[in-house]
Amino acid sequence: MRKVVKFGGSSLASAEQFKKVGDIIRADKERRFVVPSAPGKRDADDTKVTDMLYACYDLAEQGSDFKAQLQAIKERYQEIIDGLELKLSLEDEFKTIEKNFKQKAGSDYAASRGEYLNGLIMAEYLGFEFVDAAQVVLFSDDGEFDAELTNKKLQDRLEHVEFAVIPGFYGAYGDGRVKTFSRGGSDITGSLVARAVKANVYENWTDTSGFLIADPRIIYKPEGIETITYKELRELAYMGAQVFHEDAIFPVRRAGIPINIRNTNAPQDNGTWIVESTCQKSKYVITGIAGKKGFCAVNIDKDMMNSEIGFGRKVLQAFEENGISFEHVPSGIDTMTVFVHQDEFMHKEQQVVSAIHRLADPDHIEIEGDFALIAVVGRGMKSTRGTAGRIFSALAHANVNVKMIDQGSSELNIIIGVSNADFEGAIKAIYDIFVRIQI
């Protein structure tokens, strides 16, 4: 078996954390390919190395003296090296970084050095081969990630490698210039490596024991999720649930590789398994609850709208012309509502209204702001009667006014619209009816 293991910044923030990671890797010889992030925060008041690098490069770009900031970064790494009792010097690496900063190599290059340097330390600590991600993770000239070329490069490079460390978060253009993924992109690198080496499992180690059914900032000690499908995860991630970079799903999903989210500080926990499909029933009817505040509803009324061919396309064209994407579009016989992000829409609302009148000739348009959207997701809902009724009952009991409800054809999720002020109360009510009373 082959396992790819990715460790987040909190798992590698200090020498003490590094030792935990080393113990985890050495405990299982199948953990052959390691993808490290840059050092994260050692405590709540600390600064992530990636943020330190961004700040340092900003000074360099302005032509200001950045030596003190670069020295502080060097000291962070030296503290880890000393704590691990390694005979490794990063002196030459920092000379190169300083030179490239002066030559304004770019903020992507600057940010990527966090993972690059941590990868060097990890490879030295484990005795693994170091593979620079810039040589195997490739982007086209227009900045688009080249998935197929990357997969071939990774396959060729790792074909005869038993154990390797490949830094996360970055790759390179064809000319060698460094390009990064979005923040949290080390998850993507791990997924790419897992696909390339045809891993049996992709383990993603962080500081939580997998996914939780709801946001712990809203629900006190929410229950964990044992198994979740790719589709369920996509629905929850889209509505704001954050543990795993959602773009990291696609490479492993294509290859049918399961993902196991684990806790570096509690390696005995099973964590959460992310799988393509499963016959295992969820412990509860729902798998998870997630949501976001800050939406706006544009309600369009027109008599006989349902018999007018192309009406919906004309309405959505008005949003497209103004560069605004929509979230949900529930409709009735004579009504259609378009949900959009309020901060994106509010500065163009009158242009959109004018365009809707011009293109679709509605009878009336009304705009409502300060909405929150909540997704209740679960494969168990498909085979359980009365799920929507239980949600309505719970929300009514909590004095929450439901302004919209929309269920996808897959019956995998139900989207509920409430006011921003009712957001937390609605999530608590839904969690209570499906989870707390079942415990």
DSSP for 282-337, written as a single string: PSSS-SEEEEEEEEEEEEEE-TTGGGSTTHHHHHHHHHHHTT---SB--B-SSEEE
Residue 410 lies in a domain: yes
Task: Give 253-291 pLDDT, tens digit per residue.
Answer: 888 999 999 999 999 999 999 998 887 777 888 899 999
Domains contained in the chain, number: 2
Output 224-227 pairs: Cβ under 8 A, ≥24 positions apart: 224/272, 225/272, 225/287, 225/288, 226/270, 226/272, 226/273, 226/280, 226/283, 227/272, 227/273, 227/274, 227/275, 227/278, 227/280, 227/282
Q: Report how far residue 201's alpha carbon sits from residue 76's, in angstroms, rounded to the nearest whole number.
A: 32
Task: Give 6-29 pLDDT, tens digit per residue.
Answer: 999 999 999 999 999 999 999 999
Residue 296 lies in a domain: yes
Give the pLDDT of residue 438: 59
Give the pLDDT of residue 409: 65
In this structure, the answer to whether residues 173 and 298 fall within a common structural domain is no
**Which residues of 207-271 form beta strands (DSSP E)?**
227-229, 259-263
Query: Has residue 439 got a pLDDT over 60?
Result: no
Residue 326 lies in a domain: yes
In this structure, the answer to whether residues 414 and 297 fall within a common structural domain is yes
Give the pLDDT of residue 155: 96
Residue 101 lies in a domain: yes
User: Which residue among 154, 180, 207 closes a domain?
Assistant: 207
Give the pLDDT of residue 410: 66
Residue 110 lies in a domain: yes
Per-residue pLDDT averaged across 112-133, rounded? 98
Give the pLDDT of residue 231: 86
Residue 36 lies in a domain: yes
Task: Give 378-389 pLDDT, tens digit per residue.
Answer: 887 877 788 888
CATH number at residue 313: 3.30.2130.10
Residue 99 lies in a domain: yes
Task: Give 195-237 pLDDT, tens digit per residue.
Answer: 999 999 999 999 888 889 999 999 999 999 999 998 888 888 7
**Coil, strand, or helix at residue 198?**
coil
Task: Tell me the one-letter amino acid at 95.
Answer: K
In this structure, the answer to whether residues 428 and 308 fall within a common structural domain is yes
Q: How confident is the model at residue 5 (pLDDT cuts 50, 70, 90)?
A: very high
- Decide: 300 and 360 in contact? Cβ < 8 Å: yes
Give the pLDDT of residue 380: 79
Q: Report how far residue 210's alpha carbon sits from residue 190's, in angstroms, rounded to the nearest whole number.
A: 17
Query: Domain range for residue 65?
Result: 3-207
User: Which residue among 161, 176, 207 closes a domain?
Assistant: 207
Task: Look up the pTM and report it.
Answer: 0.85
